Structures are given as structure tokens and as C-alpha cells.
Amino acid sequence: MLYSGAVNELAVYPGYYEWLVEESRGKPSIAAEEIERDLHRSLPEHSAFQSDLGIDVLRRVLTAYAWRNPSIGYCQAMNIVTSVLLLYASEEEAFWLLVAICERLLPDYFNTKVVGALVDQGVLEHLTSEHLPDIHAKLVPFGVLSMISLSWFLTIFLSVIPFHSAVNIVDCFFYDGAKVVFQIALKVLEANRLDLLASNDDGEAMTVLSDYLSSVVNTDENSSFISYQNYVPGCVKRRIHVTKLIKDAYAHYGFITNNTIEQLRMKQRLRVVQELEDTNRRNIVRSVFYDDLVKSVFSQQEVDDVYTFIKEEQLRQLYWSPAVVCNGHEKYDPTMPFYEQCLIDYDLFRIFFNLLPPWGRGENAKVLCARIFKLIDDNQDNMLSFLEFLQFLAIVCRSDVEMKLKMFYLCHLICSSEDVKSETNSLSGEPEEAAEAEEFFSSIDSNTVVTGEVDASKSSSCIHPVASNPLTERYGIKELKSFLFGTDRQLPVMTQEKFIDLWKSMYDMFVLHEEEQKIYHCIATVGTLLLQIGELGTVLQSLDDMELYDDNLCDSTQSISEKNASQESQKSASISEDNGSASSVTGSLTNSVTSQCRLNCEERTQKEWGITFEQFQGTLYTQQFLISQFDHKIKISSEIENYR
């Protein structure tokens, strides 16, 4: 506690451990699931962990640390170290000792990729080649040094030496630091020099080392001697006292200091991180080619260029942006696909979007960018996976016109929110260049009525309910995305309000284009035609409604007449005086139904304006010059190189 610095943290943060235990209690997480799997594999031979009491304490300590440091969470080997600490320290003391090991004494050892252990593996190989060159030359081809370094260093020898003996090494580790594990490792290799040089493969070499380490005993507790040799008849038993092993390690390798270890770690870290990044890159790039769309339009080199550019921009953002405290509650889930390891936020997406003509070249391109980002983001966490991002690039850069128009159409069906609303109500630019567009939008805005649902009290007054209106249906963003990649589904109808937003975006895409005037003329022609189609559809719908309401009115009048005739047959002659009033009631009711139905018909005529994707697409194809702008194939590698 004293030499590790844990005693200071215990004094400075009283009650912190209890708070973590309460905060993490019953909270589901990936780390909690991993901890549960390993609880009963932590020192199972000791009676303390054969009962629920010991298991519960171990669970609390591991879960509390995972909650404290979600970037690490839980890593295998932490359970072994913690279980031994609990045998010699209280629950809270064991927690702070675990903090000291994971965050100071063995940094980066217990993360997902065990970077620290891989770095120290390189350090051990360097020290072995320098001080035990013959053993190094023998073991490196077998890969033994890489195997032993992980198992020895991650648990500070607790998993390979009987723990009653290994705790002596742990004491020295807390007192003298990380150099102790390297000194012990070198001494173990030296003590088995002849047997290792005589080994023929990695299995024989590992057996030699395992035999030696399992024979290490504590002079105070000889009963802790555990060796598989006990079960092999005729095998000569040997005992290596741990105090002698430590003394010889200090004597022969005492010149290795913590400063030496840190210098070697710095040299090895760059190599390890680069190897991990290269492996990660290959896995991520390989994983996206399972998608048919990506595989059909991109080469592996192009995907690799995109990945490299993403990493460059992320590093640049990290350098220039202020430090951000990560508040993630989960570390990466290894069960997820590799492409989920590379995430693109909106800022990075916008950089790419601005590289892609004509999509990102407009003066108000950020509005369209936000819409498309929301459409592509499948789980709406404001982060795109590498696969989602490549699907977007595949559509914009290489897909056919229909796919591009479908994405353009669907992103404007998203309900307006603050991040997709335009900050300006008119197009910017020179007046003479945008005069046609301004005139077009002015004519639209003057006749626009916001789409809405028919008031329930009015619709209920009709004899038959009105069928559901496709213009008032609401689709979630995930469902809209399913329309994008579906081939046999009819896209939702677009209302006039959303159509205006779409047309403004299309005008904005071609601002400052070299053929700007010609494109604007095409857009205005197509827009006018679509408006006329929408109006025609409204008129036809209103005529159908009038026929429906007239039929309902006839049915209602006939029903009332039959009812009156039935009443007349049952009453006396005095009822004939009331026939006049009944007729007036019938006429009044008829007029009321007629006026109400016509009122609803007028409302539907005003509100039910809409166009389908087929109408939108077919009308655009009347202007081949405009279609050619969407059919442009983008060379993504060239755009990236130009940006650099």
C-alpha cells in the first residue's frame, strides 16, 4: 500500500470505493458479463473463493474498477491479480492496489489490445538478445518469448508460480517497480539455459519453463509446493526457493533500472502501435467487402485511401481541438464487426461531403449534409460506422442515377429539425444569376399551405371515415433508410412543403457551376411540371371524394325516408300534421351533411398535394442535361489527393 502509492489515494478519496460499488450495482455492461464468466476461475483452489462471500467481494472490486475506468473495463488476468490481493488486503485496499497496477505500474496492460504487454514483450526480447543471445536465437523461431511474456507479466507471475511464493515477487514489484519482472524473467531463462537449448520445439521449451516455475516454493510455506511432477512416478522433484530466485535476479541483473525499461519501452511502443494499426486496418478494410454495394464499386486501394484519410483527419482534429473528456460507459464490444471500430462523426463527414461535387459545393450545403447524415446513421447515435460511410460514398460516387435520386428524395422526407433547417430563406449569389430561381420559389411560397391532418371533429361528421392519407404518415429514419436499399418497395409520397425544401437544395447544389444558368432553367422547368402534376393529383382526388360523398349523401337520405315511412304506418291520422315538420328535419339534415362533406372536400383539395418518387424521377429524365449532372462519377482518391 505504501510503496505503490495506494495508501495516499485511499486517504485522499474516502468513500469513493463505496460510491463506485453503489453506482455500478446491477448495471448491465459488457465488462460485467466478462467478469461473471471469470469469477469462478479466479484462484479456484483457495477456499476463500469457493464460497459466495469471496466471489461477491471479488465481483464488487472488479465491477467498481470497470465503472471507474470504462476505457479498460475488465481484462482477463485482472481477476487473478485481484483475488490474490484480496487474500492479503481489505476490499477497499485491494481496489486501490488494482488501480495502482492498472494505471501506473503496468500502464496499458489491461486494455482491449494489451498494448503495454506487447510493448514489454518487445523489451524482453531485446534484453534477452543482449544478455542471453544463444537462448534468444533458439527461442525466437519457436515464438516462445512472445507466449511467456504475456502470461508472466499480465499476472506478475501469479498464474505460473504458486501464489504463496509469487506474492514475494509482487512485493518486490510494488517496491522496485516494473524492472523486477524483467529481472526475474531473465533469471528464469538463464537457470534453464541447457534444457532450453536442447529443446526441439516450442512445446518442449514451454514444458521446461512450466516445470521450473511450478517448482518455486516459499521457505515459510513448503506446503504450497505444487507441481505436476507429484503425479509422475519416478520423476525427480526439485524445489527452487523464491527468495533465492529473487536474490539471484537482483545480483545478476541489478544493472537493469526502471529508466532503462522506460527507454526501451519508448523504442518498442512505436513499432507495436504501428503493427496493431496495420492489423486493424487490414481487418476493417477486409470486413466492408462483405457488403455487395461496396464490393461492386470500390477497389481495395480506394477503401484503403479513404481509411487513411479518416485517420489523418481524426489525428488533426485531436491535435487542434480542445481536450474532450470521454464519458463512454462501454469499451469496444469484440463481438461487433471490425468496421464498427472506425467511427466517423458529423464534423469529419462534412469534410468528405464538401469534397464531392455537386453535393457539397452549394453555399448552403451544410443543410443537405445534415439531412443525408441523419438518413445514413442507422442507429441514430450521431456516429457513422466505416461501412455506413462507404455505403454513402458508393451511392454518391459510383451508383446509378436512380440510387442517387432516391437518397436525395428520402433525405428530404425526414421531419425538419434544428440541425437540418436552412439558416437562410433565399438563395445567395448574384441577383441576375439566381433571378429565375427566386421567381420560382416566390410563386411557390405565395400558394403554399402546410400539410396537416384533417381535424378529427370534422372528419367524424361524415357518414363514412376517410381512408388513411399517405401524406400524413410518419416514417422513422431507420424505415426511410430501408427504402433506400430496398428494390421492391414504393417510396412514401412527398408533401408540397418537403418538395419545396428538396427543390431549394437542388438549386443550391449548382451555385457557381460553370453551366449554372442552363441547369437553373432545367430545374425550373422540371419544378413547374411537378407542381402541375401535384395540383392535377389534388383535383383528381377531390373528384373521387365528391363521388364518395354524393353516394354517402344518397344513402343517408334514403335511410331517413325509409325511417319516416315506417313511423307513418304505425301512427294515427294525427301524425299527418307532423309530416311537414319531419320533412323539414329531413331537409335540414340533408343540407347539413351536404355542406359538411363539401367542406371536407375543399379542405382535402387544399391539403392533399403530393408527388411520388416515380413522378419525381420520370420528370427529371425529361431534362437529360440535368440528369447528366447526377450521373457524374467521382474519383474519390483524386478528390482526397486534391484536398491534401
Are 365 and 353 spatial neighbours (Cβ–Cβ below 8 Å)? yes
**Domain containing 93: what range?**
6-105
Enumerate residue ranges in the chain where pLDDT < 50: 222-236, 323-330, 417-468, 472, 549, 553, 556-557, 560-561, 565, 568, 571-590, 593-594, 597-599, 601-602, 604-606
Q: What is the DSSP letter of 576?
A: G
Instruction: List C-alpha distances in Å: 64 to 94, 95, 114, 141, 186.
Output: 11, 8, 20, 42, 35
- CA dist 211 → 164, 168, 230, 237 (Å): 17, 19, 11, 10
* Residue-level pLDDT at 545: 55
Pair 215, 298 in one domain: no
- 427 within a domain of the structure (yes/no): no
Q: How many Cβ atoms from other residues are within 10 Å of residue 227's Cβ?
A: 20
Q: What is the per-residue pLDDT for 332? A: 54
Phi, psi of 136 (to 5 degrees): -60, -45
pLDDT score of 567? 52
Both 306 and 405 in a single domain?
Answer: yes
| Contact (Cβ atoms closer than 8 angstroms) between residue 23 and residue 70 | no
User: At 334, which CATH number?
Assistant: 1.10.238.10
Distance CA(319)–CA(362), nearest Å, equals 29
User: Any alpha helices (H) in 229-299, and if so which ranges?
Assistant: 242-253, 258-288, 292-297
DSSP β-bridge partners for residue 221: 218
Residue ending a domain, among 77, 105, 133, is 105
My answer on whether 399 and 301 are in the same domain is yes
pLDDT of residue 232: 43
3-state secondary structure of 611: strand
Closest alpha carbon to 195 in 212, 174, 219, 183: 212
User: For position 597, what pLDDT does the model report?
Assistant: 45
- Structurally, the chain folds into a number of domains equal to 3
Among the listed residues 387, 404, 177, 171, the one whose alpha carbon sits nearest the alpha carbon of residue 293 = 387
- SS3 at position 623: coil
State residue 386's pLDDT score: 92
Q: What is the pLDDT of residue 333?
A: 59
Q: Are residues 155 and 91 part of one domain?
A: no
Is 514 found in the same domain as 372?
Answer: yes
Residue 427 confidence (pLDDT):
38
**Do 146 and 63 fall within a single domain?**
no
SS3 262: helix
Q: What is the CATH number of the domain that holds 204?
A: 1.10.472.80
Residue 188 in any domain: the answer is yes
pLDDT of residue 330: 46
In this prediction, residue 261 carries a pLDDT of: 92
Query: Same domain, yes or no, for 38 and 68?
Result: yes
* Same domain assignment for residues 536 and 406: yes
How many beta carbons lie within 10 A of that of residue 294, not counting itself? Answer: 20
Residues 494-509: pLDDT tens digits?
888 889 889 888 888 8
Look up the pTM and report it. 0.62
For residue 414, how many other CB atoms are within 10 A of its CB? Answer: 19
Give the whole-angstrom CA distance, residue 534 versus residue 496.
8
- Cα–Cα distance between 120 and 186 in angstroms, integer? 13
Q: What is the pLDDT of residues 149-201, one digit of tens each?
A: 888 888 889 888 988 899 999 999 999 988 999 999 999 999 999 999 999 98
197 and 127 in one domain?
Answer: yes
Local structure of 471: helix, strand or coil:
coil
- Statement to judge: residues 181 and 318 lie in one domain: no
- pLDDT at residue 132 in the model: 93
299 and 353 housed in the same domain: yes
